[in-house]
Amino acid sequence: MAKQPATIFVCQNCGAQSRKWLGQCGDCGEWNTFAEERFRVTGAAAGRSTAMLNYRASEAYAYGKIASDEDERTTSGIEEFDRVLGGGIVAGSLVLIGGAPGIGKSTLVLQMAERLSDGGMSVFYVSGEESERQIKLRGTRLGLQAESLFIMPETNLGAIMDEIAKTRPNVVIVDSIQTVFSSAIESAPGSVSQVREVASQLMMFAKQTGTPVFVTGHVTKEGSIAGPKTLEHIVDTVIYFEGDRHHNHRIIRATKNRFGAANEIGVFEMTGTGLIAVGNPSELFLQERPENATGSVVTVCMEGTRPMLVEIQALASGTKFGTGRRMTQGFDHNRTSLLIAVMEKRLGMQLAGDDVFVNVAGGFEVDEPAADLGVVAAIASSFRELVISPETAVFGEVGLTGEVRGVLQAQARAREAQILGFKKLIVPESNRKGLEKLLGIRVVGVSTLDDAMDELF
C-alpha cells in the first residue's frame, strides 16, 4: 500500500486534493486556491476504509409504509425567515446562512434566538467572533431580552459539543463556521477540511438529536462561501444574504432547501433596532420611482412563489467612442446585448451608436426571461424619449425573432400588479387568457415587440 503523504494541498474553493501545489485547480479552474493542509490518519483507521469501520446495522423501508406526513415545523418567530425556510424550522435540520461581512447575519440569528427563547425554547449560541459581552451589547441595542439564551464564546468544536451535550438546548446557532475548528484536523480554522469536518460533525449531531442547527458563513470576494461546494452539499438548507450593503433593505434567499422550495426570498428593512420584516416588498422597491421620466418601466418577476414588482431603468445616450458600451446592473449583461440586437433588427432602432445602461432599481437582481419585455421597454423609452405611463406594468419573454413569449405564473404576476393599483398590464398574448377577469386593470396581450411598442407609446 502506498505511503500516505504528511501534507496534501487542497483547493480552498472546491476541495480538490493534490500532492503538489498547483497554480490552477484542475477541477474548478480557479487560480491560487491551493493551500497546504496536514494529513492525519487516526490509529486503527489508518490505511483502511473508515466507512467500513463505522458500519452499523440498518434496514431498508418499504416505500408504501413510510409515513408521509409533513415534517413538523417550529416557527422562528420571524415570518419572512420562516417563509425562506419553507414554512418554519425543521427538527434536525442544518441551515447555512451566508453573506458578506457586516451584512447582518449575526443580527438575524440573534433576533431569531430571542424569539425562540421567548417561545420557551432554550437556544445555544456559539460565537467564535464576538465575546459574550459584545453580544449582550448588541442585544441591548436591539432591545432584546432573552431568558433562555445561552452564549458560549468558543471556537473548539470539542468543547462546544461537550457543553451542548451537558445543557441539551432546543436550538443551536454557530456564528461563523469559519471560526470553529476540530482538533482532529490540523489545518487552520476556515480551511476547507476544517469547515467540512465541523459541518459534518454538526450535521451528525443535528440528525442524531433532532436539534435544528444554524451556522453562519462568510462569503469570499468571488461571492461564495469558503469551501462552498463541499459545505453546500453537506447542509440541508443554504440561505444567502443578497444585494449590496449600501441599501437599507436586506434580501435573504434560499438557494438550496431540502425541506422546501428553493429561491424563496425574504425581505427586511435594516433599522437601528435590527431587521424588520417587509410585508409588501413591491411597495418598497417602487417607493422612489420617478413619475413621468423616460427610461423607466415596472415589470413583475417571480421570486420563488412570490411575485414582485420592480422598476427597470435604462439610459441610452450617444457614445463618445466609436461603438456604444453596454452596462447593466441587476440584469444579465449578455441577455441585454442580445435584446439590444433584437431591437436593432426587429424594431429598426439604431442603438449601435449609443451607450446603453440598464439598472434594476433598489439593488435588486432579476434573473428570469420574463423581465425581457421590461428591459426592452425601458431602453426603447429612453432611446425614443417617450414616457411610459407610471400606471403600466409589463412582463414577457422576448425571442430572437422579436416575438413575445408566454411566461410562467402569469396569474400571480397580474394579481400583484392589480393589488398595487396598476391600471394597464402588457403581457404575452398567450398569457392573456384568464387574466381578463381581473377587476380594475386592463390586460393587453401582445405577440411581437412591434405590438408592444404600439401599446407602450
Residues found near ligand TYD in the complex (CB under 6 A): 99, 101-107, 270-272, 274-275
Q: How far is CA 238 from the centre of its chain?
A: 8
Beta partners for 181? 156
Cell 424550522, residue located = 89
Report the nearest approach of Mg ion to the CB of residue 292 (Å): 43
Nearer to ligand TYD, 271 or 350 (CB): 271
User: 24: which DSSP letter?
Assistant: B
Task: From 103-111, 142-150, 165-173, 230-238, give the range in contact with Mg ion by CB under 5 A.
Answer: 103-111
User: 370: which DSSP letter?
Assistant: G
Out of 12, 76, 106, 296, name the contact with Mg ion by CB under 5 A: 106
Name the binder of 272 from ligand TYD, Mg ion, none, CB < 5-8 A by kind.
ligand TYD
Nearer to ligand TYD, 271 or 287 (CB): 271
Name the binder of 310 from ligand TYD, Mg ion, none, CB < 5-8 A by kind.
none
Residue showing the smallest CB distance to ligand TYD in the complex: 104
Name the binder of 107 from Mg ion, ligand TYD, none, CB < 5-8 A by kind.
ligand TYD
Nearer to ligand TYD, 161 or 276 (CB): 276
Nearer to Mg ion, 12 or 106 (CB): 106
Q: Which amino acid is at 148?
A: S
Could you tell me where the DSSP H helices lie in 175-314? 192-209, 228-234, 281-286
Nearer to ligand TYD, 112 or 121 (CB): 112
- Diameter over CA atoms, the chain: 77
Tell me how far apart the alpha carbons of residues 356 and 361 are, in angstroms, rounded to a whole number: 16
Nearer to ligand TYD, 106 or 418 (CB): 106
Report the nearest approach of ligand TYD to the CB of residue 169 (Å): 21
Closest CA to 210 of 94, 85, 91, 95: 91
Report the nearest approach of ligand TYD to the CB of residue 138 (Å): 7
Report the nearest approach of ligand TYD to the CB of residue 219 (Å): 9
Beta partners for 344? none
Residue showing the smallest CB distance to Mg ion in the complex: 106
Report the nearest approach of Mg ion to the CB of residue 416 (Å): 34
298: helix, coil or strand? strand
Nearer to Mg ion, 128 or 390 (CB): 128
Nearer to Mg ion, 107 or 237 (CB): 107
Provide the 10 A C-beta neighbour count for residue 243.
21
Strand ranges, E, within 17-153: 17-18, 34-38, 73-74, 89-90, 94-99, 123-127, 149-152
Quote the crossing angle between the two packed helices 192-209 and 157-167, to the nearest 10°.
10
Name the binder of 104 from Mg ion, ligand TYD, none, CB < 5-8 A by kind.
ligand TYD
Name the binder of 103 from Mg ion, ligand TYD, none, CB < 5-8 A by kind.
ligand TYD
Query: Grid coordinates in use for 306?
Result: 412570490
Nearer to Mg ion, 114 or 264 (CB): 114
Query: Grid coordinates in use for 247?
Result: 441599501
Name the binder of 271 from Mg ion, ligand TYD, none, CB < 5-8 A by kind.
ligand TYD
Report the nearest approach of Mg ion to the CB of residue 80 (Å): 19
Name the binder of 88 from ligand TYD, Mg ion, none, CB < 5-8 A by kind.
none
φ and ψ at residue 377, rounded to 5 degrees: -60, -40
Report the nearest approach of ligand TYD to the CB of residue 275 (Å): 4
**Exposure on the CB side of residue 288, measured as CA atoms within 13 A:** 6
Report the nearest approach of ligand TYD to the CB of residue 79 (Å): 16
Look at strands 424-428 and 392-394 and give their pairing: parallel
Report the nearest approach of Mg ion to the CB of residue 284 (Å): 25
Name the binder of 445 from ligand TYD, Mg ion, none, CB < 5-8 A by kind.
none
**Exposure on the CB side of residue 280, measured as CA atoms within 13 A:** 8
Name the binder of 99 from ligand TYD, Mg ion, none, CB < 5-8 A by kind.
ligand TYD
| b/e per residue 418-451 (b: at least 16 CB within 10 A) | bbbebebbbbbbebbeebeebeebebbbbbbbeb
Closest CA to 104 of 273, 236, 228: 273
Closest CA to 255 of 276, 271, 241, 269: 241
Name the binder of 11 from Mg ion, ligand TYD, none, CB < 5-8 A by kind.
none
Nearer to ligand TYD, 101 or 353 (CB): 101
Name the binder of 274 from Mg ion, ligand TYD, none, CB < 5-8 A by kind.
ligand TYD
Report the nearest approach of Mg ion to the CB of residue 103 (Å): 9
Nearer to ligand TYD, 217 or 304 (CB): 217
Percentages helix, strand, coil for the chain (3-state, rounded to 5) are 30, 30, 40
* Chain residues that interact with Mg ion, rule: CB under 5 A: 106
